[in-house]
Amino acid sequence: MALQEDNLWYKDAVIYQLHVRTFCDSNGDGIGDFVGLTQRLDYLQELGTNTIWLLPFYPSPLRDDGYDIADYTTVHPSYGTLDDFKAFLNAAHNRGLRVLIEMVMNHTSDQHPWFQEARSSRDNPKRDWYVWSDTDTKYKGVRIIFIDTELSNWTWDPVSKSYYWHRFFNHQPDLNFDNPDVFEAMWEIMRFWLDMGVDGFRLDAVPYLVEREGTSCENLPETHAVIKEVRKRLDQFYPGRMLLAEANQWPADVRAYFGDGDEFHTAFHFPLMPRMFMAVKLEDRKPIIEILDQTPPIPENCQWCIFLRNHDELTLEMVTDVERDYMYDEYATDKTMRINLGIRRRLAPMMENDRRRIELLNGLLMSMPGTPIVYYGDEIGMGDNIYLGDRNGVRTPMQWNGGTNAGFSFADPERLYSPLISNSVYGYQVVNVDSQRRFSHSLLSWMKALIKTRNSYRVFSRGTMEFLRPSNHRVLAYIRELGNEKILVVNNLSSSAQAVELDVQRYKGYIPIEMFGRNLFPRFGDLPYLLTLGPYQFYWFRLRRI
């Protein structure tokens, strides 16, 4: 299956996020690798996803799970070789799967040769590739992101006897994008991978590229200038490749990263994500509607990326203090579940393994505007291990079957890069791909059907959205529309049955066809349309006028 030529392919993507380390180990060293991942591509194709987003696989001391990069142009030996990657990439493309990789522009590992050179002396040619100061008082007041571990954005370097700037861990010094050499070096790195055929980059931590005194050092005009230049070159030399922004900001601030369609193609809608969880717990659509009401329109050639969970903590940076407290109290009662300003749990445990809620949230994910991202393992309802350090509890080995090491590896269990989830609820003996493949009613089967239905109608990926606002606030209802195609989505956010009257009189004469069973429902008429929904139930109706 060849990749279709479409410069807007990312609008129709269903992205599967994974770390190669977690997916499949082919050589018995206990660590997932590209050969193993290649062996599992059929699974991803079968699931219905069409794009893979790989977390960092570069050589790294792995003190931040690979986001501390020591060499940008090869593969960490634990994951294989560059040739293994190329084989994976080709195999993915042959199955119609696109591949996004990480590009960490903001910082490197302190083990990167650039930093080793820069710190060696104040006269080194690469000195100015990083941000140095003789004091730690510059850029005062700039917030610390990893508040659980870092006390300052400056760290003293005993080698060069000065401070260096880092917005993340102290072993991740920030690159200095005021130096044109830095930009050119990063662009060469990107070209390296683009020439190989990767379909795009997730640019990590982009709001922090440039610093200026007296500012928050986030979202500065100079940062946007860097992005614009990247995009300009991408469009010129690699049309059809995509840039995805990781900018954990309020929607109005993220908007700037789309520019006039000349910066990022896509960006995560971070503030929406916790509000989906909040809405289900509150049994109130208000958080979702509120944040989408204040989400500005974006250029036609751009797209939000939406998600439920990912490799990081469920971030609560972009919520109010009241909302954060609520989320902690409801979803992270055990303080071990909390890290930085977020919650380090997977989807299924947060939903208390309630299949209905898991389905509801995935239904929202697949029907709201934006490109959906599925975090590996959530399609089978994997659990987490909050007792592993950092955010490793949501990065445990993929559970393929109930056999040795969950089918992830044939190594000795003690050798695995991470312990498996093995409790009686989420353990690999209970939750795994093989067992769920056997049953049409499994979560995996259901997810396949959901994604297939979504992929069948472009209105989900490219259509407009209009909220209906029935008086029952427990029901979230909206119309997706693209050309003549109209889809009505109705979600019961509550744990109890609900009745709702929808003002659809302007669609009088349309016949709603429930999209999973394809059954006809009574036609819309002059009166508000009465629907009843079971706990956490949702409907997708295709509206036909015949």
Active site residue ranges: 204, 246
Minimum CB–partner distance for residue 501 and another protein (Å): 8
H, E, C per residue of 363-412:
HHHHHCCCEEEEECCCCCCCCCCCCCCCCHHHCCCCCCCCCHHHHCCCCC
CA separation for the pair 370, 459 (Å, rounded): 11
Encoded tokens for 139: 């850029």
Which 8-state DSSP code applies to residue 273? H
Of 70 and 291, nearer to another protein (C-beta) is: 291
Judged by phi (left if over 0) then psi (alpha if -120 to 50, else beta), residue 356 lies in alpha
Q: Which is nearer to another protein, 343 or 515 (CB)?
A: 343
Which one, of 301, 308, 316, 297, lies nearest residue 252 by Cα?
A: 297
DSSP state of 475: E
Q: What is the DSSP letter of 415?
A: G
C-alpha closest to that of 169 among 72, 63, 55: 63
Q: Which is nearer to another protein, 323 or 481 (CB)?
A: 323
CB of 290 to another protein, least distance (A): 6
Give the residue with the Cβ less far from another protein, 49 or 248: 248
Residue 487, both tokens = 């889809």
Are 34 and 474 in contact by the 8 Å Cβ rule? The answer is no
Q: Which is nearer to another protein, 280 or 318 (CB)?
A: 318
Q: Are 109 and 67 contacting, i.e. CB atoms less than 8 angstroms apart?
A: no
Least separation in angstroms between residue 471's CB and another protein is: 4
Return the number of the residue (319 or 451) whose C-beta is nearest another protein.
319
Shortest CB 511 distance to another protein, Å: 26
Q: State the minimum distance, in angstroms, from the CB of residue 296 to another protein.
A: 13
Nearest to 22 by CA among 89, 79, 72: 79
- Phi-psi category of 509—alpha, beta or left, where left has phi over 0 and alpha has psi -120 to 50? left
Report residue 119 as tokens: 């710190």
> Which residue from 27, 17, 42 is spatially nearest to 80, judged by alpha carbons?
27
* Type of residue found at 302: C
The two tokens of residue 304 are 């939000």
Q: Judged by CB, which is closer to another protein: 253, or 481?
A: 253
What DSSP string describes 422-472? -STTTSTTTS-HHHHHT-TTSHHHHHHHHHHHHHH-HHHHH-EEEEE--S-
Compare residues 455 and 495 and give the one whose CB is closer to another protein.
Answer: 495
In contact, 505 and 530? CB cutoff 8 Å? no
- Identity of the residue, 233 or 473, whose beta carbon is nearer to another protein in the bound complex: 473
Least Å from the CB of residue 264 to another protein = 22
Identify the residue whose tokens are 């209970």: 430
* Least distance to another protein, CB of residue 282, Å: 6
| Interface positions with another protein (CB under 8 A) | 250, 278, 282-287, 290-291, 294, 318-323, 326, 469-474, 494, 498-499
Residue 147 Cα distances to 136, 219, 306, 329, 341, angstroms: 17, 20, 25, 20, 8
Angle separating helix axes 355-367 and 443-456, nearest 10 degrees: 20
Smallest separation, CB 370 to another protein (Å): 20
Distance of closest approach, residue 337 Cβ to another protein, in angstroms: 19
- CA angle 247-4-97, nearest 5°? 60
Q: Least distance in Å: CB of 47 to another protein?
A: 35
Give me 349's structure tokens. 């445990």
Q: Which is nearer to another protein, 131 or 267 (CB)?
A: 267
Instruction: Give the separation between CA 112 and CA 265, rounded to whole angstroms.
Output: 29
Burial 138-174 (b: 16+ CB within 10 A, else e): bbeebeebbeeebeebbbebeebebbbbbbbbbbbbb
Give the rounded distance of the alpha carbon of 416 from its chain centre: 25
CB 59, CB 69: distance < 8 Å = yes
